[in-house]
Amino acid sequence: MTSTDNTARQALLRRGFALEYATLGWNVIGIVVLAVAAISARSVALAGFGLDSLIEIGASTVVVWELSGTGEERQERALKLIGVGFALLAVYLLVQST
């Protein structure tokens, strides 16, 4: 790999990290807003949407781990946790809708 390729790769990594941190910040703010809205409106749909934002935070964390070059075993474990999170969200929404 040439120094130009390495420089471009580093610039792309910085951009990726910046985008993921912006996504994390957006989702944290979203959870707070949705929690207040869900409680005041007593809305299951808003609570489910807030839980979805929580899962998205986990997914963004996985992307940050991937960009930082961590091992595959850790990534697989995190992806399984995200899958379990989505499954639990589906069960929650199913129970609440019935």
Residues 12-30 have pLDDT tens digits of 989 999 999 999 999 999 9
pLDDT at site 68 = 81
- Long-range contacts formed by 91-95: CB under 8 A, 24+ apart: 92/48, 92/51, 93/44, 93/48
**What would the mean pLDDT of 70-91 be, rounded to a whole number?**
79
pLDDT at site 1 = 59
pTM of the model: 0.68
